Amino acid sequence: MEEAQIKVTDLCKNFKTYKREAGFLEMVKSFIKRDYVIKNAVKNINFEINAGERVALIGPNGAGKSSTVKMLTGILEPTSGSVRVLGSDPFKERSKVVRNYGVIFGQKHNLWWDVPAIDSYHLFKAMYDISDDDFRKRLKVVRNNLGIKDYLKTPVRKLSLGERMRCELGLIFMHNPKIVFLDEPTIGVDVVGKKKISDFLLRINKKFNTTILFTSHDMGDVDKICKRAIIINEGCVIFDGKISHLKKEYVDSKTLHLKFNKPLEQKTIFDKEIEKIGTSTYRLIFEKTESVSAFLRKVLGDESKEVIDIRIIEADLN
């Protein structure tokens, strides 16, 4: 059996925070003796990620997501526990594994600020010793799939946040990494840009079996890109499983679209409220405990109404 690409065992990260009350006297006291508070950002978490998996790391602000990603990428040293990425310790052996990474932190940038984005691409080419032929091929792929052709020759400081994020994403794939860590990569990206990003990530994952670890507060993005979710809250893993299982456990409603051969006059069907969304198309919302199939049997058995189309809308995480 192939070893997991990422293996996290009893991982903990504590931060020492300086504490001082307000006021001049407290300020003077702090020069003599400082008080500290220990914050447990990550508490004994365990998980494994295999090659080619698309995993979402989600949770509220301050849950420990970014601290976890920083330990996985070797930026932070764990307080205790262990992290193994591609068989190595990413903090102690960072130079050994870093060339197999692609990393985006939404609030940081890999692109040089005052020069065109393409200059940073050429810098990466030199840093990762990418051949001329591979560079041309990969640049064409990211340029076309992410829609960044018109942005590459523009100074990065003149790009919108969404445009910059798409250029950042293209950049980290230029050296064909085995694993990509994407921390809030869709911040500030419009709907069209988000679709380009999700389509691109799915295409790269399928073609190269690239492992994707994705953090986001946009559950729509998580739903489109990932098949597995790890939920962290207050530094602890509270869920680790398939997105489909997460939906079953936490999504409380289902949506049904019915199209009839002619508009209906009533506002309910079998005591179920309906919402008109087209000339003869109606939307119905079902709670988790309600049976859609039982309702459909009644509707299809009603000779006074001819149903010509049925759509059950898959619930998303939003």
CATH number at residue 297: 3.30.70
For residue 231, give the H/E element and its range. strand 228-233
Whether residue 181 is contained in a domain is answered as yes
**28 and 115 belong to one structural domain:** yes
Same domain, 213 and 291: no
Range(s) of the domain holding residue 288? 252-313
Is 28 a domain residue? yes
pLDDT value of position 100: 94
**Domain for residue 318, yes or no?**
no
pLDDT value, residue 314:
64
Alpha helices in the chain (DSSP H): 24-32, 65-72, 94-97, 117-127, 132-146, 161-172, 191-208, 219-225, 243-250, 292-300
State whether 214 and 258 are in the same domain.
no
> What is the number of H-type helices and E-type strands within the chain?
10, 15
Q: Do 261 and 147 fall within a single domain?
A: no
Q: Are residues 149 and 70 in the same domain?
A: yes
224/292 same-domain check: no
Q: How distant is the alpha carbon of residue 193 from its chain centre?
A: 14
165/168 Cα distance (integer angstroms): 5
Tokens of residue 308, six digits: 């010509």
The answer on 148 and 56 residing in a single domain is yes
Per the structure, how many domains does the chain have?
2
Tell whether 226 and 270 lie within a shared domain: no
Q: Is the same domain home to 260 and 208?
A: no
Q: What is the pLDDT of residue 252?
A: 64
Measured CA to CA in angstroms, residue 135 lies from 139, 149, 223 at distances of 6, 15, 31
Token digits of residue 275:
């919402």
pLDDT of residue 250: 67
Residue 299's contacts (CB-CB under 8 Å, 6 or more residues apart) are: 258, 269, 270, 305, 307
| Residue 1 within any structural domain of the chain | no
Q: Could you give the CA distance from residue 179 to residue 167 in angstroms, rounded to a whole number?
A: 18
Which distant-in-sequence residues (6+ apart) come within 8 Å of 298 by Cβ?
270
CATH number assigned to the domain comprising residue 37: 3.40.50.300
Lookup: tokens for 261: 């051969």
In terms of domains, do 20 and 87 share one?
yes
Sequential pLDDT tens for the chain (318 residues) = 568 999 999 999 999 877 767 776 767 676 777 777 888 999 999 999 999 999 999 988 888 998 999 999 999 999 999 999 999 999 999 888 888 999 998 667 789 999 999 999 999 999 999 999 999 999 999 999 999 999 999 999 999 888 898 999 999 999 999 999 998 888 778 888 888 899 999 999 999 999 999 998 778 888 899 999 999 999 999 999 998 888 777 666 778 898 998 888 888 888 888 888 988 999 888 877 777 888 888 888 887 788 888 887 766 555
pLDDT at 102: 92
What pLDDT shows up at residue 20?
66
Q: For residues 258 and 244, state if they share a domain.
A: no
Residue 182 domain-assigned? yes
